[in-house]
Amino acid sequence: MAGEVGRRQEGRGEMTMAVQVTMYLHEEDQWQHSSLYLEVLRYLREENVAGAVAYHTVAGFMGRMRLKTATLVEGGGKLPVVVTFVDTDEHVQRVLPKLKEMASHRLIVRENVVVEQGSLD
């Protein structure tokens, strides 16, 4: 399946293959004095990525750090934020270098997915 991202013919018609990228960030992460997750979303919008979303978590941990929950955090900034976006392999390959620069200290995961409904247009 690697390298087959795009469109391919199946017995029941066309199936759209795509790449989904998930970035694990912190609320307090910054990029050029702004919230990193917002700057990532702005960048993806500017680059015409098919779809992206940022999730504020209610609980979670990063790496080997302690579990953080919304009820234990005072003043905010300690909870993970997850940014997920989906597009064609070619488009993801084009935007990924900048995202790696922006979030050089955070986990970024890439996986091939099937678009079951909707389109990347």
- Asked if 67 and 61 touch (Cβ cutoff 8 Å), the reply is yes
85, 20 Cβ separation under 8 angstroms:
yes
Mean pLDDT (the chain, rounded): 85
Distance of CA 98 to the CA centre of its chain: 13
Q: What is the pLDDT of residues 44-53, one digit of tens each?
A: 999 999 999 9
**Each residue's pLDDT tens digit, 53-91:** 999 887 777 677 777 776 654 545 678 899 999 999 999
Rounded Cα distance, 101 and 96, in Å: 9
Q: Cβ distance 88 to 81 under 8 Å?
A: no
Query: Domains of the chain (ranges plus CATH)?
Result: 7-115 (3.30.70.120)
